[in-house]
Amino acid sequence: MITKPKLEHRGQQHYVAIRTQLPIPFGPLLSPMWDEVHAWLRGKSLTAAGAPFIRYLTTDMEKKLDLEVGFPVAFAAAGDDRITAGILPAGRYAVLMVTGPYEGGGVFKANVAMMEWAKENDIVWQISTIDNAEWWEARLEFYLTDPASEPDPNKWRAELAFLVAEARTKRKNSQMISN
């Protein structure tokens, strides 16, 4: 199940992550990276301040994707050679929820739904073009359900949050906030 996207304002969020380049499919490679970041946090006596996420920096499906795989944290932390620390920017985000298995296209279909909704509603993403590649300022998937705690994949929940550059409405929509 995929909810209808809505726009909401979010404050800035500190995070720590592993920055990497991965080809599709990359699902099986994520858990070890989240485990590594989680262990790094424990080693620094820090805790995650939210669900594990993937931050998509580039999304050219024909190439390796530039990603950050990590966790939000409550305050700024210093990274190291392996762990990067940063801030997810404050701003208006388009957000939707997806319930169901992470594998098999559920989250992929949610991304497609987000893009279609954006096109229908004149939503423009916060993207820069560098060396002929689109770089997203903030395109995130938060994995809200830990499969180790909830064995039923039909109950797994993920949240997509994409930073909006501009929002205009073509028609009145009670779920949209227009500029």
Place of tokens 């997203």: 136
Q: What three-state secondary structure class fits 66?
A: strand
According to DSSP, the β-strands at 65-72 and 13-22 are antiparallel
Q: Are 5 and 94 in contact (CB under 8 A)?
A: yes
Query: How many other CB atoms are found less than 10 A from the CB of residue 119?
Result: 9
Q: What is the pLDDT of residues 28-48, one digit of tens each?
A: 778 899 999 999 999 999 999
In order of their start, the domains of the chain are 6-167 (3.20.80.10)
- Distances from the Cα of 27 to the Cαs of 6, 35, 53, 101, 105, in angstroms? 26, 14, 12, 12, 11
Over residues 122-129, the mean pLDDT reads 92
Distance of CA 92 to the CA centre of its chain: 14
Place of tokens 């991304």: 111
Q: What is the pTM of this model?
A: 0.87
pLDDT of residue 168: 53
Categorize the per-residue pLDDT at 49 as very low, low, confident or very high, splitting at 50, 70 and 90.
very high
pLDDT of residue 104: 67
Q: What is the pLDDT of residues 54-108, one digit of tens each?
A: 999 988 777 788 999 999 999 999 999 999 999 999 999 999 999 988 776 788 8
Q: Which two tokens stand for residue 160?
A: 């997509």
